[in-house]
Amino acid sequence: MKSWAVPKGPSLDPADKRLAMETEDHPLEYADFEGAIPEGNYGAGPVIIWDRGTFEPVGDVPISQQYRQGELKFILRGSKLRGSFVLVRLRRPHTTGKPWLLIKHRDSEAHSGWKIEHHDGSVVSGRSLCQVKEGLPASGTGEGSDPGRLVGARKAPMPQIVHPMLATLVDEPFTDPEWLFEIKWDGVRALAWLRRGSVQLCSRTGRVITHRYPELASLPKQVQADEAILDGEIVVLDDDGRSNFERLQARINITSPSSSLQRQAPVTYCLFDLIYCDGYDLRHTPLLSRKQLLRHILKPGLPFVYGDHQLEKGRELTAVARKKHLEGIIGKRMSSLYWETRSRDWVKFKLTRELEAAIGGYTAPRSSRRYFGALLLGLYEGESLRFIGGAGTGFDIGTQKAVYEELKRLRSADCPFDHAPRTREKAYWVKPKLAARVRYANWTQDGRLRAPVLILLPKDRKARDCQFSTETPVPVSTALTRRTR
């Protein structure tokens, strides 16, 4: 193996230019060795496998020629190190050894302010260098992967029902040393129950959706645990690695997708939390510990990815998300427990203007429309449904017909809104059972959506859950000062 020693360790921060001293070639057996090398031997001391994975040369120049030219470009796909890197040979006179610089390129895997001390431990056993030096054995999937050692872990049977923890919408991003920040994925929230080789996926409303995503059946092979409950988001990625909700729509309501559809809209499961693991309930374990354990037991590889995070720097991550045209970011208090409700210990900041509203009626069709003119939308304030506007665009004739068939079954003589809205065309009322996801320009001064466009009718959302308190942002200062569930 071609080998370099990196005294300060590698980094995912492009601002870190790490000295990498080229060493003699190492035997291939070193790739799998973990333990203590006795004194008097080459490389004496404790050794761990800090990361492992594959590399891919970049560019048309053969890797051997790149090496001779002193500039190696490659992509790493490991558990900790991911994305594009370069090794550049330093040509300095009077310098001993063979110094190079290891530099992370700016790509979707780059993390400003990334610290290696937050990613310690063997990727194989979870042990630290100190534990290897002291001869402490690995336990199960690793000393660092023993759920019983985590603060707040409770010995208990696997819960049959878990409600996902939800984030509070805030009006601006922030930076705070007590918080970590993740990219906000635009997909379908799903909890995964793993039981001795099998997996069951459930939506946020508890509906079993395993059969909708057959390519995720291999998840138990990627998780080093007999029993576990994981939390994540099912997405379809575009060519730039962004979640694309429009492409995912083709999969959402298909109970048995064909092989052709799976190829056209391949799903990825981004896993960002661990709720239960091998006999231990982790809902009262701090978030950062849950995520560290998840990283230990998960072997990432498509269609499964680990939902990584950035410590402290929410504003900086938002700037990256805005530049890459992402939906937004999620902020989570590092010490937060897993509350099965909406909490201000988790917050979300959206870069796109979207919300989910209850459908309270529709208007008669106009011009070339065949089924209806616009959907009449509202948000709940307590028990009252308040009208916020009508969405008259965003559906083709096929979608319009399908929506109309659902609306007909819900027709009602009573207006569900607290005040009946004025409409140009005749209005028809429906029982508010359906939710609609819409994109809009902004809010008007009289509390209406400007230019709402229908995106879809989410099957995993109840209309009663479409509340002003959850679909409109609270001041970020409120979220930071009130630690409520």
Which pLDDT score, from 0 to 100, does residue 210 have? 96
**Is the peptide bond prior to 303 cis by the omega test (within 30 degrees of 0)?**
yes
* pLDDT tens, residue by residue, 409-450: 999 999 999 999 999 999 999 999 999 999 998 888 888 999
Share of the chain above pLDDT 70, in %: 94
Which of the four CATH numbers 3.30.470.30, 3.40.50.620, 1.10.3720.10, 3.20.190.10 does domain 146-350 have? 3.30.470.30
Which pLDDT score, from 0 to 100, does residue 44 have? 78
Q: 361 CB contacts (<8 Å, ≥6 apart)?
A: 375, 376, 415, 416, 417, 427, 428, 429, 430
Lowest mean pLDDT of 143-147, 361-365, 395-399, name the range: 143-147
Which pLDDT score, from 0 to 100, does residue 144 have? 53
Task: Compute the distance between CA of residue 278 and CA of residue 360 in angstroms, rounded to an integer.
Answer: 46
Q: What is the pTM of this model?
A: 0.64
More confident residue, 221 or 245: 221
Which residues are paired to 188 by β-bridges? 234
**Confidence check: pLDDT of 228 > 50:** yes
* pLDDT tens, residue by residue, 3-52: 999 999 999 999 999 999 999 998 887 887 888 888 777 777 888 888 88
Q: Which fold has domain 354-471?
A: OB fold (Dihydrolipoamide Acetyltransferase, E2P) (2.40.50)
Lowest mean pLDDT of 74-83, 304-313, 321-330, name the range: 74-83
Which pLDDT score, from 0 to 100, does residue 93 have? 61
Average pLDDT over residues 305-321: 92
Other CB atoms closer than 10 Å to residue 343's CB: what's the count?
21
Amino acid (1-letter code) at residue 470: T
For this structure, is 133 an active site residue? no
Average pLDDT over residues 198-215: 95
**434-454: b (≥16 Cβ within 10 Å) or e:** bbbbbbbeeeeeeeebeebbb
Other CB atoms closer than 10 Å to residue 35's CB: what's the count?
12
Which pLDDT score, from 0 to 100, does residue 361 have? 97
Domain boundaries, the chain: 4-132, 146-350, 354-471
* pLDDT tens, residue by residue, 458-469: 877 889 999 998
Q: Do 354-471 and 146-350 have the same topology in CATH?
A: no
* pLDDT tens, residue by residue, 128-180: 777 677 665 544 333 456 898 888 899 999 999 999 999 999 999 999 988 99
**Confidence check: pLDDT of 483 > 60:** no
* Marked catalytic residue, from 184, 291, 313, 332: 184
Quick check: helix, strand or coil at residue 262?
Answer: helix
**Confidence check: pLDDT of 319 > 90:** yes
